[in-house]
Structure 1
Amino acid sequence: MKALVYTGPKSAEVLDVTEPLPKEGAVKVRMKYCGICGSDMGIYLGTHPRAKAPLIFGHEFLGTVEEDGKKFKKGDRVVAFPLLSCGHCLPCRTGNAHVCNTLGLIGIDVDGGICEYAYVDEDVMFKVPDGVSDKAAAVIEPLAVIVRSIHQAKMKALDICVVIGAGPIGMITGMMLVHMGAGKVFISDVDDKKLEKAKAFGMIPVNVKNENLEQIVKAATAGEGADLLFECSGAEIAALQMTDITRVGGTICMTAVHKHPHMVNLRDLNFKEQILIGTRVYTKEEFAQAVTYSEVINEDLENIVSHVVSLKDSPKVFDMIADPSAGTCKVLVDCQDF
């Protein structure tokens, strides 16, 4: 079968690989779409600390069950909870398996879903609601990341929220905050195309190339600042400015993973008694909630998808995402188009 395989730093190829063998507790799934994540970009560049070549990319996949199993029937559309936990460490023993000490993921630590077929454990699969399109279903995994992030931040109705970074995660964060009744949602970036899309989702766009985010937010809040700030960019300047933009007693949620240590104004954190909280992935319950909620926001999730690339052209996807002129938001690979 055909698969998109990481073959070394800055090298991805569509290769003929051996079709997977049946295994106990798993059913054969015909892959339809798989999203490209920031972690896939890291794998491609050779900077991911765990991914080793050769490796089939992809953990954000949608597929169709090819055979009856114990829990699923042939024809069911499914997505998969992709986390791999040890079950024995302290986090796993205390209900926090999603931050297992040796956490792994499908598509990073084992072969992923950008391929024609895979055997997927029934215990990690979820049936996609009938009212969810194929494209929207392929965005359920990143939606689960945001469900967790919003839970961590303890968002309340009418909160004034700021999202830094209008990439796919920032865009879905802002979209969810709008749906959940935020008072205002400001989103910042340097890309006008991304900010135009964010405005269409009900956010207030701020291009920080020529506008001052802190001034704009404080002007809208009688000089106080945001109730909640979601850092979704991973940028050094965002880490330094986020305490300025957030009010006394406000919450900063670190949704982006910062690859290097960055300066943070810890004095602000003290003097303004702010809450700084991290978030990583999601629990299995939160993944299930994302599956359910995808039907409510199906149209918006579908509109997050900016490009669909065929499996045969998928090696080009990494350069396309890295090119600002390409205007990508969420990119999917069509695993059956080869």
Structure 2
Amino acid sequence: MKSVVIEQPGELVLAERPQPQPAPDEVRVRVTFASICGSDVHIWHGHNPFAQYPRVIGHEFFGVIDAVGADVDASRIGERVAVDPVVSCGHCYPCSVGRPNVCKTLQVIGVHRDGGFSEYAVAPAQNAHRLPATIPDKLASLVEPFTIAANITAFLKPQADDIALIYGAGPMGLTAIQVLKGVYGVRQVLVVDRLPERLALAQENGADRVFNNSEFPLAAQLEGVQPTLIIDAACHPAILAEAAALASPAARIGLLGFSGEPCSITQQALTSKELSLFTSRLNSNRFPQVIDWMEQGLIQPEKLVTHYFPLAEIARAMTLFEKDPRTCCKVILQMD
């Protein structure tokens, strides 16, 4: 089978590999579509602190179960499934309180173990979520990105009368817009980014107001508006301090991302307004929730997709995703 392998940082190859065989509690998925995430690019360049090499990358993927392990019901063969990449132990403290995404022995498919940029992939049977026929194959790999927004909003508990501010109109920011508007009915969603093309995408995905902070500070453009809910989907170290300064008293701030650079903020900036600060990593069993949202039409994943490529053009697809944020949002690989 053909698989996209990062042999070592900077070395991406489309390699021939033997088909994996499912372990007793696993299923094998014949992958049909997989989408590119920024973390895939980071693994390629050696910037992901969790990656282990060599690695078949890809944690956003969809396909059909074509084989099962000894402990899995054979009737699952033929199921259309989206695969949750979070593999946890199920018994450590985080797992026991419903936070398997920060399991003490966490493994992520496509990071710690081989992923879905391949003609076949294996995963724990419980991680393969059956999809209804109403979700088309070509969009099914986008369940996973929306689980990121589902996870952070579960902490933030959005209300219709919130004034929400999202930093960053990349894929994660756009999924957050859709979830805030389509699921929670938030009436005011503001988005800030430095690229006009991304701000146009934000509007297409439901943003009520957009701000370009490439030349003028956001604070001056807000004209005294104090957001009650803020999501940092851009992950620059300077954002947290600015978010705290702009936030309404009693606001909630949610952080996505893994910048290793330090940021500077005082306790006073947080406690003087009694701000609530939440962090979020991956997702904690949010696949059924997002699948339900898609089935109901509460979110529109098609609004994120700008390009499709065959697997053979992986290098071109990854380079476009990395280098051209003005015209590129979600890039989906087709295996067939």
TM over 0.5: yes
In 2, Cα distance between equivalents of 1:321 and 1:206: 23
Q: What SS is found at the alignment partner of 2:104? A: coil
Residues 187 and 309 of structure 1: CA distance in aligned 2, closer, same or farther (over 3 Å):
same
The Cα of 1:101 is off from its aligned counterpart by 2.0
| Letter paired with 1:253 | G
| Letter paired with 1:199 | Q
Residues 298 and 44 of structure 1: CA distance in aligned 2, closer, same or farther (over 3 Å):
farther
The Cα of 1:90 is off from its aligned counterpart by 2.3
Q: Which residue of the partner structure matches residue 261 of structure 1? A: 262
Q: Which residue of the partner structure matches residue 42 of structure 2? A: 42
In 2, Cα distance between equivalents of 1:162 and 1:62: 31
| Letter paired with 1:266 | Q
| Letter paired with 1:80 | V
1:109 and 2:112 are equivalent in the alignment: yes
Question: Pairwise CA RMSD of aligned residues?
Answer: 2.0
Q: Which residue of the partner structure matches residue 176 of structure 1? A: 179
Residues 115 and 91 of structure 1: CA distance in aligned 2, closer, same or farther (over 3 Å):
same
Match of 2:155 among 152, 160, 169: 152
Moved more, 225-234 or 263-272: 263-272
Moved more, 255-264 or 14-23: 255-264
Runs of 4+, deviation exceeding 6 Å? none
Q: Render the CA deviation track for 1:61-116: whole Å, top value 9, x for unaligned.
A: 01012258627544321011211223343222343222112311011111101111
Task: State the TM-score, normalizing by the size of structure 1.
Answer: 0.91
Task: State the TM-score, normalizing by the size of structure 2.
Answer: 0.92
In 2, Cα distance between equivalents of 1:171 and 1:326: 14
Residues 188 and 71 of structure 1: CA distance in aligned 2, closer, same or farther (over 3 Å):
farther
Question: Contact 2:98/2:284 (CA < 8 Å) preserved in 1?
Answer: no
Q: Which residue of the partner structure matches residue 235 of structure 2? A: 234
Q: Which residue of the partner structure matches residue 193 of structure 2? A: 189
Q: Which residue of the partner structure matches residue 208 of structure 1? A: 213
Where do 1:64-103 residues align within 5 Å? Answer: 64-66=64-66, 70=73, 72-103=75-106
Residues 216 and 288 of structure 1: CA distance in aligned 2, closer, same or farther (over 3 Å):
same
Question: Contact 2:38/2:322 (CA < 8 Å) preserved in 1?
Answer: no
Percent identical pairs in the alignment equals 27
Q: What SS is found at the alignment partner of 2:296? A: coil
In 1, Cα distance between equivalents of 2:297 and 2:221: 29
The Cα of 1:195 is off from its aligned counterpart by 0.9
In 2, Cα distance between equivalents of 1:157 and 1:21: 48
Q: What SS is found at the alignment partner of 1:135? A: helix
Q: What SS is found at the alignment partner of 2:228? A: strand
Q: Render the CA deviation track for 1:275-322: whole Å, top value 9, x for unaligned.
A: 1111112222x2211121122337720121111121111023332222
Residues 124 and 71 of structure 1: CA distance in aligned 2, closer, same or farther (over 3 Å):
farther
Q: What SS is found at the alignment partner of 1:78? A: strand
Question: Contact 1:136/1:299 (CA < 8 Å) preserved in 2?
Answer: no
Question: Contact 1:206/1:213 (CA < 8 Å) preserved in 2?
Answer: yes
Q: Which residue of the partner structure matches residue 278 of structure 2? A: 277
Q: What SS is found at the alignment partner of 1:226? A: coil
Residues 201 and 94 of structure 1: CA distance in aligned 2, closer, same or farther (over 3 Å):
closer
The Cα of 1:128 is off from its aligned counterpart by 1.2
Unmatched segments (≥5 aa) in structure 1 = none
The Cα of 1:325 is off from its aligned counterpart by 5.9
Moved more, 155-164 or 316-325: 316-325
Residues 185 and 67 of structure 1: CA distance in aligned 2, closer, same or farther (over 3 Å):
same
The Cα of 1:178 is off from its aligned counterpart by 1.3
Q: What SS is found at the alignment partner of 2:144? A: helix
Q: Render the CA deviation track for 1:118-146: whole Å, top value 9, x for unaligned.
A: 23332211111211122331111111111
Unmatched segments (≥5 aa) in structure 2 = none
In 1, Cα distance between equivalents of 2:66 and 2:105: 32
| Letter paired with 1:230 | I
Q: Render the CA deviation track for 1:30-69: whole Å, top value 9, x for unaligned.
A: 1011111222122111122232222111111010122586
Moved more, 229-238 or 62-71: 62-71
In 1, Cα distance between equivalents of 2:175 and 2:75: 29
Q: Which residue of the partner structure matches residue 164 of structure 1? A: 167
In 2, Cα distance between equivalents of 1:335 and 1:236: 37
